[in-house]
Amino acid sequence: MTLQARHYRDEVRQTVTLALPVVLTQLAQISMGFIDTVMVGRLGPAALAGVALGNAVFFMFLIVCMGVTMAVGPMVSQAYGAGTYEPIGRSVRQGLWLGLVLAVPATVLLWHIGPVLLLAGQDAATAERAQRYLRAIAWGFLPFLWFVVLRSFIEGVSRPRPVTVIAFAGVGLNVAANYVLMFGKLGFPALGLVGTGWASTFVYWMMFLLLLGYTVRRHDFRVFRLFERIGRPDGQYFRELFRIGWPIGASMGVEMSLFMMAVMMMGWISPAALAAHQVAIQCAAFTFMVPLGIGMAASVRVGQAAGRGDAGGVRRAGVVAVGLAALFMLGAALVFWTAPRAVVSLYLDLDDPANAEVIRLAVSLLGIAAVFQVFDGVQVSAIGALRGLKDTRVPLLIGMLAYWLIGVTSSYVLGFPAGFGAAGLWWGLVLGLAAAAALLSWRFHRQSRPGRLGAGVPAGAAVEPVPLQLD
């Protein structure tokens, strides 16, 4: 085996070692949405449509703000790779401040979003249900952002397993809280779809407090001085985090807006189309968590390699991540293509005549999802690698071109003027994701060339990787 082949083999091993708990964390978090959809589905298509709309709005806001706070990740991973610990504590402290600054206006907007949904052409009854759901889950916005900050720190120093444990504990809490609050158990009133919003708020607070407790109690984290002088905002690091983070948040928002517009346009077709979209997109989102986790691991691996001056390590980390993500998504696409009704049966009773139209549409959408799965995996792993280089502004421009100009436009044209309806909207998603995958992969190829990495990352550097320290 050549030296280069050994380096790639080692990179695969270390990426998988780091990515596995990150992927499991992502799967645990998306499982809460899966559980909500399954349990609300038992309340009927009307309730499912309300949660579909409310959930799309909530996560549109959350993804944007989460992306901004995710700047903590590359700040921490590059400092950790360079062996400088003081910037790590400053990044975490200002990340918590940043989360607070973002959460307050977002919560206020979510509380008053109902009229905006009506102006967007949504069914009045569906918009009213979505608003009630949002007023419950909005109180979980701040703790979720704080959880993301602490998670970014812990994963940035290559210790992701405690986050995974807490995330899976959150899944169990979510099932129990949904059961109690939605269906009125243990003396609580039956809150229906609003109950799942309050359940999510409770779970987000518990997850943050558990991760905070772990971080405070770890003796080996004390070297980072994470909470020292936390009451004093640090303007220099706050601005640097925001400088790196706002394009991340905007990029994630641009991508999310593609799917948000699909939700809105599905609502123009019918409540059944909206419910079918919710089922199919939840399936696609579940498999998407694997390449998303790989992309987050790529951000850490690329950032650590850049921090220690390993040009070859930067390139290998990105290439391996994209390859692993594409390989997994090919397998997921095969399942969606060959067994769509079995997948839909996880959410809806196939024998209930009331669900017939939703099932028919959901099955057709899963066939299209099988196509965009691979493009989605490539683009998210490529953008994760770019974030490890703190390259965030050009990927934002790429996202605007791919998702808005190509994706949203083609979704509308194929869905309405061309007359393909719900299927046309999803083929537009395929075109947008394919463009993003191609352009982001090309961007990483350019940015990871030795001559582009800067003086701190010399060409041909042969530096031993920092060993992973997993609990």
Per-residue pLDDT, averaged over 321-338, amounts to 91
Residue-wise pLDDT tens digits, 267-305? 788 878 888 887 888 788 888 888 988 998 899 899 888
Per-residue pLDDT, averaged over 454-469, amounts to 38
| Contact residues for 378 (Cβ-Cβ < 8 A; gap 6+) | 291, 322, 325, 326, 329, 437, 440, 441
Whether the CA torsion 288, 289, 294, 297 is positive or negative: it is positive
Per-residue pLDDT, averaged over 374-385, amounts to 93
Q: What is the pLDDT of residue 451?
A: 64
Q: What is the pLDDT of residue 421?
A: 86
- Taking 60 as the threshold, does the pLDDT of residue 469 lie above it? no
Among 8-22, 74-88, 179-193, 379-393, name the most confident range: 379-393
The answer to whether 127 and 95 have CB atoms below 8 angstroms apart is no
Among 147-161, 345-359, 429-443, name the most confident range: 429-443
Q: What is the pLDDT of residue 1?
A: 65
Q: What is the pLDDT of residue 359?
A: 85
Residue-wise pLDDT tens digits, 179-199? 999 888 888 888 888 898 999
Tokens of 462: 């042969």
Cα 287 to Cα 122, 164, 246, 326, 374, distances in angstroms: 28, 17, 27, 12, 11
More confident: 257 or 23? 23
Tokens of 251: 């990029």
Per-residue pLDDT, averaged over 215-243, amounts to 85
Distance in angstroms (rounded) separating the CA atoms of residues 294 and 288? 10
The answer to whether 214 and 185 have CB atoms below 8 angstroms apart is no
- Taking 60 as the threshold, does the pLDDT of residue 392 lie above it? yes
pTM recorded for the entire structure: 0.76
Phi, psi for residue 259 in degrees, rounded to 5: -75, -30
Per-residue pLDDT, averaged over 194-219, amounts to 92
Per-residue pLDDT, averaged over 49-64, amounts to 84
More confident: 455 or 178? 178
State the average pLDDT for the chain: 85
- Taking 90 as the threshold, does the pLDDT of residue 383 lie above it? yes
More confident: 453 or 321? 321
